[in-house]
Amino acid sequence: MRVNGPFVITRVVDLEGHFRAPQFLLPDATPEAFGATRTFRDPRFYDPERGSLIMSFHSLIVQTERSRILVDTCVGNDKHRPMLPEWHLRKGSYLDDLAAAKLPADSITHVFCTHLHADHIGWNTKLVNGKWVPTFPNAKYIMHRKEVEHWEHVRRTSTEPANHRSWDDSLQPILDSGQALLVDGDHEIEPGVRLMCLPGHTPGNCALCLDDGKQKAFLVGDTIHHPVQVERPHWSSNFCWDKAQSADTRAKFLGDVADTGAWIIPAHFAPPSSVRIVSEASGFWYEA
């Protein structure tokens, strides 16, 4: 993917393909309700024979004249995630795929976590001689301060394992290494590259906004999980911290970007992974 001007965006996949039934992700997506959507008939994003969403778990690497910014680090290898077998103790080729794209781990200057769910911070670290160490040794790991504070509180106060125990294996080692950069929602990484706070999915959920003065792109993480949420923006996920706020944030964002020509690049859209939003009488739709 390329945005005209100084930004080049590369997608590197951790895992991709059939995921789960729509209601696993979106409680409002009953068979009847989901079957009434246009997305139901789009084979790129849904397989009716298997009854499963088609999704991707990928990183987006933004190359500028100054930086290589990796957005969201997916599931990771060797992580103990027994509740989701497809995430559990993976042995994927992600690091080799980064290198094949001429984006080796040691060349990354920034890692930006749109939020801190386990499938967005897994490759923050890798297992070396039984110890979790930062995967990207030369990078600053950028995280919204409110997001870190929220998950630290959950970890300290919850009686159940929180967030697949990802704090211990994917976040604490980054904090211990001194590579974490905790920022507020209006943080600018460099000219034309800034954070935009989109709360609801989590308290500190953010997008990365690229603007070269001619075109814009928004790397929105889980603000929009699946294309069906473009036509049904009030459908929030089972994993949203505040479902009502998530829906309001999504609807406002879609209204702001509709018909502007901006590229919207979420964290889980299967190819085509970037879309433009258009307004219609019934609401919104996507053009890939």
**CA–CA gap between residue 249 and residue 272 (Å, rounded):** 23
CA distance 161 to 144: 22
> What is the domain partition of the chain in residue ranges?
2-287
**pLDDT at residue 1 above 80?**
no
Partners of 9 in beta bridges: 62
For 226, phi then psi, to 5°, come to: -140, 150
Q: What gap in Å lies between CA 199 and CA 248, rounded to an integer?
A: 9
DSSP conformation letters of 244-279? HHHHHHHHHHHHHHTTTT-EEEESSBPSS--BEEEE
Question: DSSP code of 35?
Answer: H
Query: Do residues 218 and 257 make contact, with C-beta atoms less than 8 angstroms apart?
Result: yes
Does residue 266 contact residue 222 with C-beta atoms inside 8 Å?
yes
- pLDDT tens for 181-232 read 999 988 999 999 999 999 999 999 999 999 999 999 999 999 999 999 999 9
CB 204 within 8 A of CB 197: yes
Exposure pattern of 204-225 as b/e (b: 16+ CB <10 Å)? bbbbbbbbbeeebbbbbbbbbb
Note the pTM of the prediction, 2 decimals.
Answer: 0.96
pLDDT at 250 over 50: yes
Residue-wise pLDDT tens digits, 109-164: 999 999 999 999 999 999 999 999 999 999 999 999 999 999 999 999 988 888 99
CATH 3.60.15.10 fits 2-287, yes or no: yes
Whether 218 contacts 227, CB under 8 Å: no
What was the pLDDT predicted at 2? 43
Is residue 77 predicted with pLDDT exceeding 90? yes
> Averaged over 8-12, what is the pLDDT?
96
User: Which pLDDT tens digit goes with each residue over 16-70?
Assistant: 999 999 999 999 999 999 999 999 999 999 999 999 999 999 999 999 999 999 9
